[in-house]
Each structure stands twice: as C-alpha cells, then as structure tokens.
Structure 1
Amino acid sequence: MTKSVFRMHVLAAGHGDCLWVDYGDPDAPTRILVDAGTAGTFSRVKAALDKVRCGIPSHELLLITHIDADHIAGTLNVVEDGVLASQFKEFWFNGRDHLAQAAKLQSLGAVQGERLTAALKKLPGRWNTAFGGGPIMMPAAGSPPVKQVGAATVTVLGPRPAELAALLPVWTQEIKAAGLKNKVAAAKPKQIRPGWQSFGVTNVNKLANEAVTTDTAPANGSSISTIVEFQDVRLLLGADAHPDTLLDGIKRLSPQSPLKVAVWKLPHHGSAANVTDDLLAAVDAKTVVFSSNGAHFSHPDKIAVARVIRRYRQTGVHLVFNYKTKHNQIWESPALQSKWNYTTQYGSGLNGVSVHLI
C-alpha cells in the first residue's frame, strides 16, 4: 500500500504568505492553498496551478486569511481568472458582509478585498459553504469549529467575533477613500525599536527578553488561523493572527498542556509583536516555519527567532525559512546551532521550501 503524504510548500511570496498544502495519496493528493502572496507571486502560483490542472478541481479549498495586500494581492489575480478559479471547490474568506463592527484600520488591502468579494459572488455555492455562507470565526466561547476537508480536518482558531467586529467601518472607509479604484496604500516604514539591533546576535537570551508591544492591527486581528490535521499529525497555520487570539484558540483545544504539532507556520512572518513567550509556551512544535523575504518590515524579527530558539532548546527545533536573507542568515551559524540545539533549512532563490510532515 502506498504511503500517504502530508506536506507544505512555502512558496517564495515576497514579504507575504503563499502556502500549498497537500495530503493523502501522493499520486492524487488533496490540496489546500492558503493565500497567494503579493501581486508579484502570481506568476509562480499560476505556474504551479497549471501543472496540476485537470478535468475536476485540483484543490479542495482556497483559504484567504485576511485582506492585507501581502496575502490577498496574488489571491485576487487567481480568483479573477476564471480558469484558475475553477480549480477550487470552495473559497474561505471573510468579506465586508461578514463583518459587524470596525475600528482603526491598518490594512493595505481593503480595495482588493472588495474586488475579491465581487469575484467570489460570481462563483455561487463555493464561498464559505462549509459555514453556511456565514463568517469564518471561532465563537466567543466554546470549542473552535472543525470542518472536514477531504481526509483532513481543519480547525478554526480565530478570529473571534470581536476581531471581525473591529474591521467593518474602516474597511468601508478605505474603499470610499479610494473611490473603489484598484490601488493600495503605501506601506508604512518599519519602526525600529531603539537599541535592539545592537544586541550581539549570539546573546539569544538578551534578544528574547527584549520587550515589544504586541500587535493590535485590526486587519491582522481578523486573520483566519487554522490547524490542518491528517492522520493525527497537525499543521498549525498562524496567518497574521494576534497572539492573544491564537493563544485563546489553542488553549480551548488543549487547556492543560501544550498543543502538540508537527509544524507551525508562525504568525505574521515572525514578527516579535506576534510571537510571544506565552504563545510559544502553549505549543510543542518540532518544526517552525518563517515566511518572508524581509522586504518592508525586516521579518522575521531577531527577537522572535531568539524566543523560538530559547523555548525549544530542551527538545530541539528545526527552523525553516523560505528565503535566505540578511535578516535570517545569521541563524545558520554552527556555533549557535550547537549551543542552542536547533537546525536550519532555507529556500533557494524563488523556489521556496518544502516541509514534509509525514
């Protein structure tokens, strides 16, 4: 009997996310695509989709986590292309109609979110159907929702109703200000925390102890974070989720002990504002994945990587980066790896990197 496969390919998606997950029969796997990165990622996504196109949909699901441009811009091109869109049985995405309240917006993709909504409305019966057409969220109390996707289950850890409630009016404000034109606001420059870059990189503890304000951006808070589980093996996908939201979902699943996962794609590309010690303590992971080329925001933060290394020093951890950049190549140091009990793996050029769970 052919052994099943469960793997994730982290595409080279600029400073964004594009995650290709497949599982089951290696010759005919079930596939899920999570986001499609920046606009520049589209050509690579299209090429990958073209390779597996067939007479039936090649993918069970396209999960669009939230409206930030580094997650949605490439996705928009996929959904607006009728041929490519036909490769997906279902789309999960929280559009403006799924939101209830809003506050200050720090998203860059509200206009694209509106265009995506229009495109999805042209695909009846395939948008959030697993949720009765309603919002994809974890309830304010109780167990996270679990949905069957092929032979795997997908558990939704966030957002909660409050995070979705924080987005609607500002989404509306953004599209009104843009006049519904296809444009994206310029990214704000990264605010460097005074002095953090002066810490010796070998001083992992000092880096890990650096205080950082946690993420409060409403768009990130609306991220759909999930667990994909196949044959009792778990893949945790953090999207750009706020650490308290993700921690709440994890604690609801495993209140007494850390949640055991094979692979964890960290939230927000390894931003220190999203990777907290409390969150790390709630998860036992063998492999931790960082998705970013470091453009715009220099992700992953050295502070976040140091926290991961320190958290898993006793058990060891494998760090996977889909690019090798000036921001992350320091962790390749043999001396650091020996001292802190971790290993590294880097993507090559624009090829991204693959992680096998089984």
Structure 2
Amino acid sequence: MLKITNIQAKCGDSFLIEDTDNSKKLLLDCGFKLTFQYKIKQLTSSVDYLILTHSDEDHINGAIPLIEDYPHKFSVGKVFVNVPSSYEIKAESGDISILQAITLENLLKEKELSYQSLVSGETVRISKNISLEIISPSKEDLEYFIGQYKSLKDSSSPDPISKNSNIISIETLAKGKDLYKSKKSDFTNAASIAFILSYKNKKLLFLGDAHPTVITDYLEKIGISRDQKYIFDYIKLSHHGSITSISNKFISMISCSNYILSTNGGKARSLHPSRETLAKLALNVDRNGSDDINFFFNYPIEEIIARNGLLISPEERTKYNIKLIEQSSFCIK
C-alpha cells in the first residue's frame, strides 16, 4: 500500500510518502523548523529518501534541524537537493543571501551526508513499487538558477493575492487569462523539483512550487496534448494552489479529479489557494470519468476561508459537483 501524509506545515509543504509493503519512506520537503520539531518527528525518526524541492523557506527550513539530528536522533538515506555543490556548473561569484539554503548545504557537508541534484528526465527508484519520473527543473532552468544563486538578494516574492469582498463569479474566473510570472523573474520556482510518482498502475503528480511552463514543456516533449491528455489519479498543486503557478495550457493537458493542497490559508500578502485556481480546474479540467472534482486540504477549510475569503460557495459546490474535503492522509492500493 502507498500511504501519503500531507503534513501540516502552516503555509509550507511537507509530505511523508511510504511504501508499506517494502517499508520504504520518502520525505518530500520539510516545511518550517517547527514543522520538523512538532510534526515530522512525531511521524518517523528515519527516512530512506529526502527530497528538498527548492530553496524557499517554507519547504527547506525544517530540513536544517533534521540534518542537525542526523545520525543519532534521525536517520536519513539519500538526499536530493539542487544547490551549486550538487550540480557542477560555473557560477558567478558574489554575495550569498539564500541563507537557509547555504546553511543547509554547509550542514550536509559538515555531517558528511551525501546529496545530489535532480533534473528533468531522470528516474529515481524508491522501492519495488514506487518510481519517480523527474519532470522539473530542466537542465537549462537549473543552470540559470545556480548562476543566480550567489548574487540572489531575495529568493521569492509574495503572490498578489489578497482578501477581496467583491466576489467574482466562478464562471468568470474560469475564463481568466494566465497570471504566472516569467521564468526569469520566478527562477527559484522554475528550479523546483517536480515529479510523476508511479505506484503500480497509479500515477500521482507532485508539483512542488514548479513553474507551469516547465511542466507543460515536459508534457509536450513526451507527447501529451489537449487531445492526448495525461491521466493522473492525484495531483499535488503547485505553490499551494496559487493562481501564479497554474496555466490554462496545463489544465487542458491533464485528466484528474483529485487535487491535494498543502496550506493553512497563507499569511500577510500571500494568501492561498486562489479561488480562481479552483474555479479554472472545476470548470475546465477533464475529470477522468468522475462526476465530482475533489480538493483535499490538510487544514480546516473554515479556517482557510476565514483567512483568505471565499473559496467555493455552497451553491457552486452543488452546481458543479465540487467537493472541499479535509483529509491529510491517503492510502492507495
């Protein structure tokens, strides 16, 4: 059985993925430092694989106390993270300001814990039943990120999402144009690791905070189109369901009725998920034969609504068979 735990990491990401038949564990991102202390350590004291998708603090900071506990309090097998020393490329020298990523990189070296990069086209075998097809980042996008790594002044910027008392209809939102940033202005997310997880005959898409054009470029490369869609059993949405991390083209190329979100609603000026993201998926995506479309949350939905406003109204849920579900654990056979 494949067991997936969508760990509560506030506005961050952390997933524990287990093959219970083969006793193999993959930890995907670690949220914030308190995520490790109060959530991850309560679930496990060892993992066979650790993947850190990118350098944003809500994904990587929890890995710092985890590695500090290695090897006596927490056991880690293979580590995958895209930092300069994991991927050989000439980079311009300059001041380094992605402090959490640098701290982690130095800590891995200090602990003599080996690590390596992941790029599009590679495959990672987790167990007899689980393999990962890496679909992001591309080699070119990773090289651009690493080239900027040492002169970066700010690794991320908040999405322009804020609570709005003027509710736009779900039908109008579903017709909205793309709002994602250019890859060069969003190069940290363009370098985010994303993969297709295969478990027996099941396909799950874990997008990290991946840029939508990197994903659609890969899907096109393997022959996927609006006429030949990729069928997924579950999709973990990029960047907590932000409207800046999804595209109409991506939606046209997939078939899926189950979407996983990791968020408590966000904070400050960065609130998520976007009502527009849910609307576009609910009205435009192919549901793979299902009447319902399901959005799974790892925090109470009412708390998320209180923080960032309306997601989907009761009337809209009924009209379009949309289900908002509080569920953080998934068992797939």
**What TM bracket, shorter-length normalisation?**
0.7 to 0.9
Counterpart contact for 1:76–1:115, Cα < 8 Å: yes
Match of 2:53 in 1: 65
Match of 1:149 in 2: 126
Structure 2 Cα separation of the partners of residues 305 and 219 of structure 1: 24
Match of 1:180 in 2: none
Show the 5 A alignment for 1:197-276.
Answer: 197=164, 200=167, 203-215=169-181, 216=183, 217-255=186-224, 257-276=228-247
Show the 5 A alignment for 1:274-293.
Answer: 274-293=245-264
In structure 2, relative to structure 1, the CA distance for the partners of 1:192 and 1:334 (3 Å cut) is closer
In structure 2, relative to structure 1, the CA distance for the partners of 1:335 and 1:43 (3 Å cut) is same
Match of 2:64 in 1: 76
Percent sequence identity is 21
TM norm structure 2: 0.84
Structure 1 Cα separation of the partners of residues 256 and 12 of structure 2: 22
Q: Give 1:127's aligned amino acid.
A: Y
- How far residue 8 of structure 1 moved from its aligned partner, in angstroms, is 1.4
Q: What is the root-mean-square deviation of aligned Cα atoms in Å?
A: 2.8
Structure 2 Cα separation of the partners of residues 101 and 34 of structure 1: 28
- How far residue 313 of structure 1 moved from its aligned partner, in angstroms, is 6.9
Q: Provide the secondary structure at the position in 2 that maps to 1:16.
A: coil
Structure 1 Cα separation of the partners of residues 155 and 149 of structure 2: 16
Counterpart contact for 2:47–2:77, Cα < 8 Å: yes
Are 1:318 and 2:294 an aligned pair? Answer: yes
- How far residue 329 of structure 1 moved from its aligned partner, in angstroms, is 7.4
- How far residue 221 of structure 1 moved from its aligned partner, in angstroms, is 0.8
Are 1:164 and 2:142 an aligned pair? Answer: yes
Match of 2:27 in 1: 33
In structure 2, relative to structure 1, the CA distance for the partners of 1:225 and 1:100 (3 Å cut) is same
Counterpart contact for 1:102–1:164, Cα < 8 Å: no
Structure 1 Cα separation of the partners of residues 100 and 203 of structure 2: 31
Q: Provide the secondary structure at the position in 2 that maps to 1:273.
A: helix
Q: Give 2:277's aligned amino acid.
A: A
Counterpart contact for 1:263–1:357, Cα < 8 Å: no
- How far residue 61 of structure 1 moved from its aligned partner, in angstroms, is 0.5
> Structure 1: where are the runs of 5+ without partners?
129-134, 139-143, 178-184, 348-352
> Structure 2: where are the runs of 5+ without partners?
none
Are 1:120 and 2:92 an aligned pair? Answer: no
Match of 1:136 in 2: 118
What does the per-residue CA deviation read over 1:38-67, in whole Å, with 9 as the maximum and x for residues that have no partner? 223122244335xx44xxxx4221000000
Match of 2:324 in 1: 344
Structure 2 Cα separation of the partners of residues 213 and 84 of structure 1: 46
Counterpart contact for 2:66–2:74, Cα < 8 Å: no
Q: Provide the secondary structure at the position in 2 that maps to 1:77.
A: helix
What does the per-residue CA deviation read over 1:71-99, in whole Å, with 9 as the maximum and x for residues that have no partner? 11111221122247752210000112326
Q: Provide the secondary structure at the position in 1 that maps to 2:151.
A: helix
TM norm structure 1: 0.79
Q: Provide the secondary structure at the position in 2 that maps to 1:82.
A: coil
